[in-house]
Amino acid sequence: MIKELQVVEKKTTTRRPDWLRVKLPSGENFKEVLNTINEHKLNTVCSEARCPNMGECWGAGTATFMLLGDVCTRSCSFCAVKTGRPPKDLDWDEPRRVADAAAKMNLKHVVLTSINRDDRKDGGAPIFAETHVQLRKMIDGVTIESLIPDFRGDWETLQIVLDTPPDVLSHNLETVPNKYRRVRPQAKYERSLELLKRTRAAGVRTKSGIMVGLGEKREEVIELMQDCVDHGVQVLTIGQYMQPTKMHHPVLEWVHPDQFAEYKEIGEKLGIEHVESGPLVRSSYHAERHL
């Protein structure tokens, strides 16, 4: 069960601004995606993390598959995914089902992510690797992005993923370092940077993502972007944090679209190849642009 975090900062009292309003999910494509996900007994980060872009993406016939179940071993204060003790055994048929679902959805670019599996020494990495294999077996010319956890800094486990690499390997920093204690208490900023550095050194396109509106300062975001450059990040996503429930970290600021535009300009001037920055941007949003 997710525990309520004691946060000293005061949440914003203003209502959600107009630029964050989205249409409710609907349409035939949306229903077809939902049916395909349910028929294959799969999870998506779209629904589990309550993504505001689910209507747009599913309406366009695409989704982000979440591997390794729907119960995470970590309790990040920003995340809507359930926390607890997942089933011990891995579902070795899941890679085949993901590939089959992606083929039926006619996907040419597939995005994978997962919960954390800190209960396992391998962190669930073999499921990522096997899913890459199955996707390439079933879909000619498919491109793959995998958003992976930090595997607790076990670089041998990371190598399992890199041995059958995706086209883009993503690992999110999520927020600036001084927010980690409250936002990502089981993660370490330097460990995540090291993972990104090792990914780039392996010759794999390297991506990360952060949320803003958690009380970070503009200067801290710029320093984080410089860290990204220094550690080989080629693509960075920046989006507005939105509180999933009252139990989660409050929104401390609704960041204006002009600020997102400035972050994009600064990040790309610093040397990041592509910065996708906007209020509704999420790590998987328009992922096909990040190849």
Identify whether the C-beta of residue 30 lies closer than 8 Å to the C-beta of residue 59.
yes
Residues facing 212 on adjacent strands: 240
User: What does the domain layout of the chain look like in residue ranges?
Assistant: 23-290
**What are 129-166's pLDDT values in tens digits?**
999 999 999 999 999 999 999 999 999 999 999 999 99
Cα end-to-end span (Å), the chain: 37
The pLDDT of residue 206 is 98
Encoded tokens for 243:
């509180």
Kindly give the parts of the chain with pLDDT less than 70: 1-14, 22-27, 30, 45-62
Question: Going by DSSP bridges, is the β-strand pair 109-114/64-67 parallel, antiparallel, or unpaired?
Answer: parallel
The pLDDT of residue 8 is 41
The pLDDT of residue 219 is 98
Taking the domain 23-290, which CATH number applies? 3.20.20.70
The pLDDT of residue 89 is 87
What is the value of pTM for the model shown?
Answer: 0.88
